A and B are shown apart, each in its own frame.
Chain A
Amino acid sequence: MQALQQLFKRIIQRVNINLRELDYDVDPYTKDLIPLDQMTKFYAFYGITPHHSLNFQFRHSNLAGSYFLGKCRTTNSILYKSDIRGDELKKKGDVYRCGKWEIPIQQDEGIDIKDSLLIKTLVHNYSHDPETPERFFISNTAAVHYANIHGSPTDGSFLGPFATVDLTTMNDCVIGSFSYVQAGEVNHLYVDPGTVWVRSPDNFNFLYRYPQEKLRRYIDFSAGSLPQGLLIDFVNDRKEAFQRIFDVVNIEPSVTVPGSASLDRYAVVKPKTQINENVLVSQRAYLQNAWLGKGANAQENCYIINSRLQGNNVTAHGAKIIEADLGKNVFVGFNSFLRGRPNGRLTIGKDCVIMPHTIIDIQEPLTIPDGHLVWGLVNDAADLEANSIALKTMASVSDHITRGSMHFEGHGGKFVTAFKERIHHILEANGAFYDGTQGEGHAQRNQNISFNTIQPYPEGDQQGLYPTILIKP
């Protein structure tokens, strides 16, 4: 256990050295977050498919309960119940287009995690940094519960609970709880909790900041304490269901899955759930009385409960949908929390975009009209009025618009187009448009994955550490 403790201390020191300019000490935030003495109990596992690279290198790391797919490497790191999903990495022979550059990919891209602590964190997509097209690195970084590192090479940074960094290269930054950053590149920046920031330099800049006192009801993370709040309670209340599927070696799906759809064996499926064609359900997703129309998806850490999704719906990583009815082509961004009530359902019209990290938590029925953009905290109709705009109106913004705590500057048309193109790309990558011969994506390719498990030293000096493991075809 001593080796594991030393590794933990070493990582924290690495992160703190990088964050010294911000005078930020991650030690009190990470000290008691994971039970080091139990880290020997959880196995790690990796997927094998003919569609993805098989190239794993694990050195001097603890990987308790974590999942790996594609080309991944960990060195001097602790990964606790994290998902390292390398099924969208670039492949040798691809051409990566970035601005005016067309960059030939010389070797398969790999996720390279070094000197880092990831707790229940999702790593996905591919490096969007043209300077490192074949290496999606995460180094000297700590990320805690339900953080997402999505297509974002990251060095020397800290991500709080439910924080997301998306398509952004990040150096020496602190991303507060429940903050979402998509800004291309950020350096030496402290981002307050509950900040939603989407920036494309010279094109547009969107910013929303949650009122801190209201956000704390949903997520509260302070030094010396575990993350608390409604979001954490919600997830913890459903923890046991996952325990069961991780304890069982072979598990049969409890619902009928069409041939063009994919249901991960590490997803929880409760009764009255229906999965239609081209649906993708990823590991650690939770479905209960969920109706998923053709081409809908539920990504990692998503919860869909007592809800109906009409089809081609993107439910991005960590999003939660409860007591809601969603029209076709509704996009629900990362970590959003949409909660209607049995007698106060939430209805979202077709073609709506729910911004990443949006909270809609209502007591009375609420309907969002077709084609609207929604952001921030919505508890009733008045909040919806303040925190939404028709996408058509947004597209006509040519200079700036301010609504409550939302600030937008730039070309609204480019902002709307960027979102629509991204949603289309996600649906395409997920195989939502598969017609039986063309348009194959994750829903079709991830159907037959074999899972192997690996274990750490059970005792002795190296207790808790996994031996050096190299896995190749």
Chain B
Amino acid sequence: MENYRVKDLMVPLSEYATVDKGATLFEAILALERAQEEFDHTKYRHRGVLILDKNKRVIGKLGQLDVLRALQPRGRQINQIDEIEKYGFSPGYIHSLHTQRRPGSLALVNLCREAATTKVEELMQTLEEGEHVDETSPIELAIHQLVFGHHLALLVTRGKEITGILRLTDVFAACFHTMKECEQTHDKG
């Protein structure tokens, strides 16, 4: 474990799902499906899509939660309902209000149809300070960033260029593997 560097565990950018700014949510999901088909099937599935600008620089990311967020009903009346959540009403009560105000439109098929045409830049998360890690950094540094930043992945850099993604799931797998090795060595000793 101590010899792992970030680049040893990252998924190269070329293997990751990406779309250009201006793409729809549906196009992003197709890109995710394509990337998964081309990816090593023995590994964990991809869970996000990166958004690129016209210079092919990463400007944001779209995760599973962002997609689900896109399925939340929208509109002035709906916003008014959501606003009351801060006053301590239960999620069940809020949902019952949504159902009352927009009966039928809350069916999953309708929500998906509505969300599919949304532009990715309206849904994506922009990148924060602690989400980048240099590809030559020791994995311990990346673990620290993942834990304290509550991130599911980090963007791996070489200078100003983004070269890949370090996913929580791959770091976890590496830790698990190292732990097993340690135990086996201990038992033999």
Real binding pair = yes
Chain A residues with CB under 8 Å of chain B are 183, 189, 192, 195, 197, 199, 201, 205, 207, 209, 400, 402, 407, 409
Q: A207 touching B89 by the CB < 8 A rule?
A: yes
Q: Tell me if B148 is interfacial: C-beta within 8 Å of chain A.
A: no
Q: B89 touching A409 by the CB < 8 A rule?
A: yes
A102–B96 CA distance with the chains assembled, in angstroms: 40
A322–B143 CA distance with the chains assembled, in angstroms: 68
Q: B93 touching A400 by the CB < 8 A rule?
A: yes
Q: A199 touching B93 by the CB < 8 A rule?
A: no
Interface string of B52-94 (1 = CB under 8 A from A): 0000000000000000000000000000000110111110010
Q: Chain A at the B interface: mostly helix, strand, loop or mixed? A: strand
Q: Tell me if B97 is interfacial: C-beta within 8 Å of chain A.
A: yes
Q: A207: which of B87, B96, B100 is its contact (CB, 8 Å)?
A: B87
B93 to chain A: which residues have CB within 8 Å?
400, 407, 409
What residue of chain A has the Cβ atom nearest to residue B81's Cβ?
A407
Q: A197 touching B87 by the CB < 8 A rule?
A: yes
B89 to chain A: which residues have CB within 8 Å?
205, 207, 407, 409
Which of B86, B87, B96 is most buried by chain A, counting CB atoms within 10 A of its CB? B87
A409–B93 CA distance with the chains assembled, in angstroms: 8
B90 to chain A: which residues have CB within 8 Å?
409
On whether A201 and B88 interact (CB within 8 A), knowing A400-B93, A402-B97, A409-B93, the answer reads: yes
A205 to chain B: which residues have CB within 8 Å?
87-89
| Sample of 20 A–B contacts (CB below 8 Å) | A183-B88, A189-B86, A192-B83, A195-B87, A197-B87, A199-B87, A199-B88, A201-B88, A205-B87, A207-B84, A207-B87, A207-B89, A209-B84, A400-B93, A400-B96, A402-B97, A407-B93, A407-B97, A409-B89, A409-B93
Task: Tell me the smallest distance from the CB of B98 to a CB of chain A, in Å.
Answer: 12
Report the interface size class on chain B.
10 to 19
Task: Tell me the smallest distance from the CB of B89 to a CB of chain A, in Å.
Answer: 6
A189–B87 CA distance with the chains assembled, in angstroms: 9
How many A-B residue pairs have C-beta atoms within 8 angstroms? Tell me: 26
Task: Tell me the smallest distance from the CB of B37 to a CB of chain A, in Å.
Answer: 45
A197–B86 CA distance with the chains assembled, in angstroms: 11
Which of A192, A205, A409 is most buried by chain B, counting CB atoms within 10 A of its CB? A409
A407 to chain B: which residues have CB within 8 Å?
84, 89, 93, 97
A199 to chain B: which residues have CB within 8 Å?
87-88
A189–B88 CA distance with the chains assembled, in angstroms: 12
A367–B55 CA distance with the chains assembled, in angstroms: 71
A209 to chain B: which residues have CB within 8 Å?
84
What residue of chain A has the Cβ atom nearest to residue B90's Cβ?
A409
A183 to chain B: which residues have CB within 8 Å?
88
- B13-47 residues with Cβ-Cβ distance < 8 A to A are none
A192–B83 CA distance with the chains assembled, in angstroms: 10
Q: B87 touching A402 by the CB < 8 A rule?
A: no
A195 to chain B: which residues have CB within 8 Å?
87
What residue of chain B has the Cβ atom nearest to residue A409's Cβ?
B93
A20–B121 CA distance with the chains assembled, in angstroms: 28
A197 to chain B: which residues have CB within 8 Å?
87
A67–B9 CA distance with the chains assembled, in angstroms: 70
B97 to chain A: which residues have CB within 8 Å?
402, 407
Which of B84, B86, B96, B97 is most buried by chain A, counting CB atoms within 10 A of its CB? B84
B100 to chain A: which residues have CB within 8 Å?
402
A199–B97 CA distance with the chains assembled, in angstroms: 19
A-B contact sample (19 more), CB < 8 A, given A207-B84, A409-B89: A183-B88, A189-B86, A192-B83, A195-B87, A197-B87, A199-B87, A199-B88, A201-B88, A205-B87, A205-B88, A205-B89, A207-B87, A209-B84, A400-B93, A402-B97, A402-B100, A407-B84, A407-B89, A407-B97
B84 to chain A: which residues have CB within 8 Å?
207, 209, 407
A183–B88 CA distance with the chains assembled, in angstroms: 10
A199–B90 CA distance with the chains assembled, in angstroms: 12
A400 to chain B: which residues have CB within 8 Å?
93, 96
B83 to chain A: which residues have CB within 8 Å?
192
Which of B86, B88, B100 is most buried by chain A, counting CB atoms within 10 A of its CB? B88
Task: Tell me the smallest distance from the CB of B172 to a CB of chain A, in Å.
Answer: 34
Task: Tell me the smallest distance from the CB of A21 to a CB of chain B, in Å.
Answer: 14
- B112-169 residues with Cβ-Cβ distance < 8 A to A are none
What residue of chain B has the Cβ atom nearest to residue A197's Cβ?
B87
Task: Tell me the smallest distance from the CB of A170 to a CB of chain B, in Å.
Answer: 14
A407–B100 CA distance with the chains assembled, in angstroms: 13
A207–B86 CA distance with the chains assembled, in angstroms: 11
Task: Tell me the smallest distance from the CB of B96 to a CB of chain A, in Å.
Answer: 7
B86 to chain A: which residues have CB within 8 Å?
189
A189–B84 CA distance with the chains assembled, in angstroms: 12
Task: Tell me the smallest distance from the CB of B16 to a CB of chain A, in Å.
Answer: 36
Task: Tell me the smallest distance from the CB of B94 to a CB of chain A, in Å.
Answer: 10
A183–B89 CA distance with the chains assembled, in angstroms: 12
A195–B89 CA distance with the chains assembled, in angstroms: 15
A205–B86 CA distance with the chains assembled, in angstroms: 12
Task: Tell me the smallest distance from the CB of B90 to a CB of chain A, in Å.
Answer: 6
A199–B87 CA distance with the chains assembled, in angstroms: 8
A400–B86 CA distance with the chains assembled, in angstroms: 17
